[in-house]
Each structure stands twice: as structure tokens, then as C-alpha cells.
Structure 1
């Protein structure tokens, strides 16, 4: 009996451990990949809160396609205040009132069956700095996750200054300083209200609109932006980045 029990014990010890199911291993590595990607984005958000983003995926692709791009980072103090107000009036009038998503604009866009006008400046920064262009669902999902993190870590002024430095104003022309030089031969700090409004007017379609030789539509849009910039200054909707 003792010998039989001993053999059974050895048999149990010799039995190989069951292998992990392949699906569990895949899920484990997927989870690690997602966690690593999230950690990378968080680190970049923290770094870019104080350091200018050097370049993004779209700028790299345009530089490759065009053989070079124009861009020149400038600080907040080197940008005319009217340029900041014009960009907000044109792209995100409620910039100071939301946490990254303008729910009123989103609901209106859904009712109209369009996404135009629903993307905030914060969302555009998430896309332009960290992601790629296009309307794919994976990109939109990542944008939706990055936007609140950016709003949490960065000030509204930081979001706006990054936006003004990475936005495309003409083919291969990125940032307000390069745009001011390209179109008007002046620095960003010297932009007049009319020039600032025209630059803001080309933002939705930088390859199809010209700030230096504006079409009738761009002129009309610029006048609307000038009025909007004055309005948000008067009613306090520029306080979060000008205060």
C-alpha cells in the first residue's frame, strides 16, 4: 500500500503543468501593448505641456511629399492677441466653456447630419500633435481619449498656443509665424486684425483658400471672424487664455 501511494505521489508530481491557452497569452500581450501606448501618450502630454512638439506625422508626410515644409515655433508672447481671438472665434467660440468637447455643437452637427463644426480646438490639437489625419473610427476613438487628458494637464492658453503653432495655413506652411511671413511678410506679433481674421478664415481649408489674395468668400468669412473676435473679448469668452 505504501509503495502504491508513493508511485501515485510521484505520478502527480511528474504531471506537466497545463499550458496557458493561446487566447489568454494574446490578450495579455494586447493588454500590455495598450498600457504601454497609454503610458507613452501620457508621457508626451506631460512633456509637451512645457516643450514644443518637434514635428507630427502629417508634417513628416508633407515634408516628404513636398521636399520640405515651412514652420517656426513662437511663444505666446510672440503672437498678436487678436490672432488668438480670431482663431477661437473661427474654430471654437466656446473654447473657454468646455472641457474638450462642445456638446452643443456636437448635438447640432448630429441633427444636421454632419460633423462639420463639432471638432473643438482641443480635439484638433490631439489629432494634429499625436495622431494622423483622416476620419477613421480608430483615430476618432484615440482622439476622444487624448482630448480630456490634454485638457486636464494643459492650460487653455497652452492648448491654443500649440494649436496656432501646428495648424496648417497653406500647403506645407505650418504655424502662425510661418503663415504671417508667408502671406504678409510680417511676424506673428505684428498681425493686424484683418490679417489675423484672414489667416483664421483659411484654417478649415488651407489648400483651397488664400489669405493674401482672398476670394469673396474668404473676405466675407474674415469680416465675420473679426466681429466674432470682438464679441468673445467683450463677453468674456476669451478670458481663459487672455487672463
Structure 2
């Protein structure tokens, strides 16, 4: 029994120490630009273990200040990913609840379709699920956490999103997000994305270009391969129409 208690105490202390480490890193980001994120390091490792040195394509990322990212891209990303960004405190519980409800329906529908497809000897496709995450939650996950989908990791994401909102202002959160988010294989940040897709700096992106980049964010590698898809074009037009109403920090 004493051994079990000692192990439990060690786990609690380790968990607390990890939280302190995370909070200290977030606090430092008020003044220091993060050199890389947990997600980026994971991507680099996967590319390396696949036998490629930083991928067949050169790794692209260059940090630019908030003022050197066009307002059109900021508005497009907010309109596409988190239209309540400047108002919430890091987590939108109603959005999470709506996402859970949509995902439950999607999984039920997918299960019925899968049964029919298996009966025909075809391999079913997994359902498309939505996370309901805010920009702050996405940043917390990309910066510090693994990509696994567990309740423990989701709980950690919510805690870190709250810490980000307490320790950094909205402008800084958006600046770090836009400089670190993935926009294709080996393409990270707004400047790299603007140069890669449009051969221009992020400061000069037009409304249509910004909307296309914003729409790519949920599945950047997929849309990189399907740049001319009807969905991407249609969704980009919708975001372009909505982005003027998006409020910036």
C-alpha cells in the first residue's frame, strides 16, 4: 500500500511540475518568439524516420511580426476558424457541445454507411469529425501537446488555453498562431504559406488569397494536394464574403 501511495505521489508531483513548466513557457512567450512547436517537432521526426531529411521539400518557416501579416489574412482566419476569437476566454463551451452533437450524428451515419459498404465488399471511409476548438485551443495543442486524441489531452488543452488567455493578449496569441500553424507539408506560418502558394509576402495577400489559405487550415496537407477542388473554391468564396465582419484584436 505504501508503494502505491509513493507512486501516486510521484505522479502528482510530476504532473504539477509539468504544468509549471508549461505555464512558464507560455509566460516567456509574452516577450520571446517560440522557435518551434511540439507539432512541428513531431512532423520533423516523422519526415526524418520516413527516410527524408526535413522532407523532400525544404522546410519553410520565417517568423514575421504581427504588423507584417496582412489584415486580410487575420480576418479570413478568424472568420473561418473562430469568429468569436476576441470575445471568448480561450474556450467556447457551446461550440464544443455543438461539435460533439454533430460528431455523434456523423458517427451514427458513418456506421450505417459502413455496414452497407462492407456488405458490398468495399472499405468504408472514417467519418469527418469536427473539434469545435478555438484558435487559442489550437495554439495550445500545437505549441505544447501531442496529437493524440484522448480525454486527458483534451483536458490539458483546455487548461493551457486558459493559461494562454491569462498570460498573453489576443494580438500576441494570434501572432504566434499565424506564425506557427501548418499550411502544407513542411510549410509553417503565414509568411512561408504566402511565399509558397502565391510568391509574395504575407503582408501583401489579397482577400481571395487569404480566404484560400484560411480554408486550408483544418486539413492543410489534403488541400495542398487538392488545390483546385470545388469545395476549396466554394468555401473560400464564403469566407471572403464573411471576413469583413471579422473583428481583429
TM-score (norm 2): 0.81
**Residue 183 (1) aligns with residue 173 (2):** no
Correspondence 1:130 to 2:144: yes
Residues 121-167 of structure 1 show CA distances to partners (whole Å, capped at 9, x for unaligned) of: 00000000011113122211211111111111111111111111111
Q: Hey, what does 1:150 align to over in structure 2? A: 164
- The structure showing larger relative contact order (alpha-carbon pairs under 8 Å, at least 6 residues apart) is 2
Residue of structure 1 equivalent to 2:9: 28
User: Alpha-carbon deviation of 1:229?
Assistant: 0.7
Equivalent-residue separation in structure 2 for 1:61 and 1:187 (angstroms): 27
Number of positions where the alignment pairs a residue of Structure 1 with one of Structure 2: 216
Taking the aligned partners of 2:228 and 2:167, their CA distance within structure 1 comes to 38
Task: Give 3-state SS (helix, strand or coil) of 1:174's partner.
Answer: coil
Q: Which 5+ residue runs of structure 1 have no aligned equivalent?
A: 1-19, 233-237
Who is 1:198 aligned against?
212
Contact kept, 8 Å, 2:79 with 2:242, in 1: the verdict is yes
Shift in Å, 1:117: 5.1
Q: Which residue of 2 aligns with 1:8?
A: none
DSSP 3-state at the match of 1:73? coil
Where structure 2 has 5 or more consecutive residues not aligned to the other structure, the ranges are 105-128
- The 3-state SS of whatever aligns with 1:97 is coil
Q: Does 1:73 align with 2:67?
A: no
Match of 2:155 in 1: 141
Is the CA contact 1:183–1:212 (under 8 Å) kept in the aligned structure 2? no
TM-score between the two structures when normalised by the length of structure 1: 0.83
Name the stretch that deviates more: 129-138 or 179-188.
129-138
Which one has the largest radius of gyration?
Answer: 1
Shift of 1:24: 2.7
| Aligned ranges 1:156-167 → 2 under 5 Å | 156-167=170-181
Q: 1:57 aligns with which of 18, 38, 51?
A: 38
Q: Which digits, 9 at most, give the CA deviation of each residue in 1:151-185, with x for residues without a partner?
A: 11111111111111111111110101000010011
Once the two structures are superposed, what CA deviation does each residue of 1:51-70 show, in whole Å capped at 9, x if it has no partner? 11111222123223152221
Give the RMSD, CA atoms, in angstroms. 1.9
C-alpha distance in structure 1 between counterparts of 2:228 and 2:146, whole Å: 29
2-structure distance, mates of 1:176, 1:50: 20
Q: Tell me if structure 2 keeps the 8 A contact 1:101–1:119.
A: yes
Measure how far apart 1:111 and its partner are.
2.6
